[in-house]
Amino acid sequence: MYEKAQRYYQNGMSEVARFYSNLASQQTGYYERANSLAATQFLDEHSKRLQDFNTLDLHFLFVKEAIPSLDVFIDRNINLLRLSATKHTEYLQIITGRGKNSPNGISKIRPAVEARLKKRNIR
AA identity, residue 104 = N
- Sequential DSSP letters for 73-111: HHHHHHHHHHH-SS-S----EEE---STTSGGG--SHHH
Neighbouring CB atoms inside 10 A of 73's CB total: 19
pTM for this predicted structure: 0.62
pLDDT in tens, the chain (123 residues): 888 888 888 999 888 888 988 888 888 888 777 777 776 666 666 666 666 678 888 877 888 888 988 998 888 888 888 887 777 777 888 888 777 767 777 788 899 999 999 999 988
